[in-house]
Amino acid sequence: MLTLYSQLLQAYKWSNKLQYHAGLASSLLNQQSLKRSANQMGASAKRRPKVQPSTLVLPPQYVDDVISRIGRMFPDLTIELFRPNGTSAVLLVTLGKVLKAIVVMRSLFIDRTVVRGFNENVYTEDGKLDIWSKSQYQVFQKVTDHATTALLHYQLPQMPDVVVRSFMTWLQSYINLSLSCLSDLVAELH
């Protein structure tokens, strides 16, 4: 199980790199098609600025607005947005009285998520969100694994807001997670 998880993380990292380079290639191809005639007239490639993929860098206000709209779409979800490094967003998503998910984002792209039980502490001793520690409950560790798989499934670089909305829709499906469901999931683990 541990080797499968590490392979999944490697595939996720590879997917992120591929997504980044595909965005660069797309930006360069779009720019080339517009500047083809200018390049034939002697414009030097050395003077061209380095192109960053436009899909990866979105203004923080736009990200805040998208998250706010998504929060209003799901009445069972409470979404708190934090910006610990200034630009990167970290979401604390509380789903009813069932679970809490910490969603680490780069612009509108979800990097990782950690799911914990509703009564578990999600903060470190210094008051910051704890984005690294696993849940103390196996069932929420399993939900974290499922969430990581869902992140890999919901990849659409051209429309990252749709990806976030789809992921929140998936996360909301756990609202009916009851004690009987939890015991069934724990039984599957053993």
Predicted local distance difference test score (pLDDT) of residue 19: 79
Average of per-residue pLDDT across 154-159: 81
Q: Is the pLDDT of residue 38 over 70?
A: no
Which three-class secondary structure state does DSSP give residue 137?
Answer: coil
| Residue 165 CB contacts under 8 Å (≥ 6 apart), including other chains | 70, 73
- The per-residue pLDDT of the chain, averaged, comes to 81
Local confidence band at 122 (pLDDT 50, 70, 90 cut-offs): very high
49-103 pLDDT per residue, tens: 554 444 457 888 989 999 999 999 999 999 999 998 877 899 999 999 999 999 9
Q: Is the pLDDT of residue 44 over 80?
A: no
Question: How far does CA 174 lie from the centroid of its chain?
Answer: 18
For the chain, the structural domain boundaries read 56-188
Predicted local distance difference test score (pLDDT) of residue 11: 82
